[in-house]
Chains A and B, each alone.
Chain A
Amino acid sequence: NAGVMQNPRHLVRRRGQEARLRCSPMKGHSHVYWYRQLPEEGLKFMVYLQKENIIDESGMPKERFSAEFPKEGPSILRIQQVVRGDSAAYFCASSPTTGEVQPQHFGDGTRLSIL
């Protein structure tokens, strides 16, 4: 999984705090995707971004969750006022900008634990 960098690898927050997860895509990739994996489940799509644009946020919860991919710097997934149900592994993936469909390459994830 070299290339897509996520940090922190582990994040512990108390209920009501904010969580910020960061993702730097592979070099040359301008498409970023966020997925969430709950225990014993597959990965669920959350949001798809390109630089400064949200392309598809159909998987994002309506409240408390937001994502950005600024012109400079990593993509950020922000969770406000965290609750126990937010405990999960959050994975970021990236793909290059080409006319052909390309596989997404994943980082090693951030494990979020809510106390």
Chain B
Amino acid sequence: DQQVKQNSPSLSVQEGRISILNCDYTNSMFDYFLWYKKYPAEGPTFLISISSIKDKNEDGRFTVFLNKSAKHLSLHIVPSQPGDSAVYFCAASDNQGGKLIFGQGTELSVKP
């Protein structure tokens, strides 16, 4: 029962262009969403989050959009840089201060 899905296992983008990573969820009780970035042999690094009371949150080159009616969120990275190449995970919580449910990840490759 995959409550958080990232349907694209990989994405390749040219340096300087926009990267758009997508995530879908099924549980309407989720109300806090996060994006993490992960390099090989390291732990996930927190990037950005959004509460369900918002539809957009921006931090520098990273913007997360939330569409509650579609149960969909996306992460936009602009401009993309080669150092952004990593696996990106979306995660969701039902705001009980507890567990995160992760998607399967999308491997982003930014080519110079």
Contacts and interface: CB of A to CB of B under 8 A. Distances in A.
Interface in B29-77: 32, 34, 36, 41-46, 49, 51
Nearest to B5: A42
Given A1-B42, A42-B89, A104-B46, A56 B98 contact: yes
Chain A contact residues, majority secondary structure: strand
Max chain B C-beta neighbours (<10 A), residue from A31, A101, A108: A101
B43 A108 contact: yes
A108 B99 contact: no
For chain B, which range describes its interface: under 10, 10 to 19, 20 to 34, or 35 or more residues? 20 to 34
Interface in B92-108: 93, 95, 97-105
Nearest to A43: B102
Contacts of A45: 99-101
A107 B93 CA distance: 19
B99 A91 contact: no
Given A43-B44, A101-B93, A104-B46, A59 B32 contact: no
A15 interface: no
A77 interface: no
B37 to A, nearest CB: 11
A63 interface: no
Nearest to B95: A101
Nearest to A55: B98
Contacts of A91: 43-44
A106 B104 CA distance: 17
Contacts of A95: 97
A103 B102 contact: no
A42 B46 contact: no
Interface string A62-102: 00000000000000000000000000000101010000010
A103 B89 CA distance: 14
A88 to B, nearest CB: 14
A106 B44 contact: yes
Given A103-B34, A108-B43, A56 B99 contact: yes
8 nearest interchain CB pairs? A106-B43, A45-B99, A42-B102, A43-B102, A103-B46, A42-B104, A108-B43, A1-B43
